[in-house]
Amino acid sequence: MKAEPGAEFALIGAHFAGLGAAREDVLLGVGDDCALLRVPPGQSLAVSLDTLVAGVHFFPDCDPHALGHKTLAVSLSDLAAMGAEPAWATLALTLPESDPAWLAAFAAGLGELARAHGVRLVGGDTTRGPLTITLQLQGLVPPEAALRRDGACAGDCIWVSGTLGDAALALAELQAGRDPDAALRARLERPTPRVALGRALRGIASAAIDLSDGLVADLGHVLAASGVGAELRLDALPLGEAVAARTDWSLALAGGDDYELCFCASPGRDGEILALGQRLGCRLTPIGTIRGDDDALRCLLPDGTELNPTRRGYDHFAGV
């Protein structure tokens, strides 16, 4: 009797086998018990894992192509913050039902971004249940070149890429039943991971982190790891037109899903960093200074008074 693949394996073969970029270091990919991967000499593995849950991280009716893009983008942003080169991904996909059209669009969104960044999908799992997506991404970085959170020093300048608060504003509009304009919605559903910037910051940045939970919360992780404090100038924050029109600092300070990079560097590297931003076509803005006299984070309003943010960022278990 000829063995026929079950529905689960037919789904995998139809949508995910061979997804992403062709890589010579993939010795065995989707379709066996494990993937076999070759780690080049002199490189260390950078590994990130992110889970997206319907109704928590995205609306259940989210465009599946955009969702496929974001699934990979959030992990690419983690690798960018480490200065790592993306390589391989595994995907665990829990589905309420097998919908070929939804799967084709999701795989297309994931695959397009994977090919753009040289990523190959090498394995994973599919199960039935509430829509939940977990992606593990592995990258490569020389161990001595990896960017970390624990290297910020007193006197360092604090920088951010892009603009802040756009995704938070788009989410607020959607939650209020309004449809944000296409550019604003794209910042929420199709973020741009700053992978090239992360690699270029090797040897320049003293510390780095990606902004997923909000500037105050994520910069706070850098300060805690480095044992320093910081002073932010709120009038220096890079804001898009729609966010700047609001009188709500929490969008830029505590809104999640920016997926920009926040990094620290010696003020002697300012010119180099600005030139780097021009070369990459990426807006880079100095927004504050690392302090060594205490571990506080001070947010200074344009008039010099201090703002004490009532929201500090997203926390899944706050108040639980």
Question: Which segments are annotated as binding site?
Answer: 33, 48, 50, 57, 78, 124-125, 149, 210, 212-213, 257, 314
- For residue 106, give the H/E element and its range: helix 100-116
How far lies 69's CA from each of 25, 98, 187, 214, in Å?
24, 19, 12, 21
Nearest Cα neighbor of 260 from 189, 211, 213 is 211
3-state SS assignment for residue 8: helix
Q: What is the rounded end-to-end Cα distance, in angstroms, of the chain? A: 55
209, 219 contact by CB (below 8 A): yes
Look up tokens 């320093």; give the residue.
228
**Inter-axis angle of helices 64-82 and 182-189, to 10 degrees?**
60
**CA–CA separation, 104 and 173 (whole Å):** 28
Sheet with 85-95, side-by-side order of all strands: 44-53, 132-141, 85-95, 120-128
Binding residues for substrate: 57, 257, 314
**CA–CA separation, 270 and 86 (whole Å):** 27
Contacts of 83 (CB under 8 A, 6+ apart): 141, 145, 146, 147, 198, 199, 201, 202, 205, 208
Q: What value, to the nearest 5°, has the Cα angle with vertex 181 and ends 179 and 183? A: 135
**Which residues, in sequence order, are bridge partners of residue 135?**
50, 91
DSSP-derived secondary structure letter, 39: P
Binding residues for ATP: 124-125, 149, 212
122, 29 contact by CB (below 8 A): yes
β 120-128/85-95 pair status? parallel
Binding residues for Mg(2+): 33, 48, 50, 78, 125, 210, 213
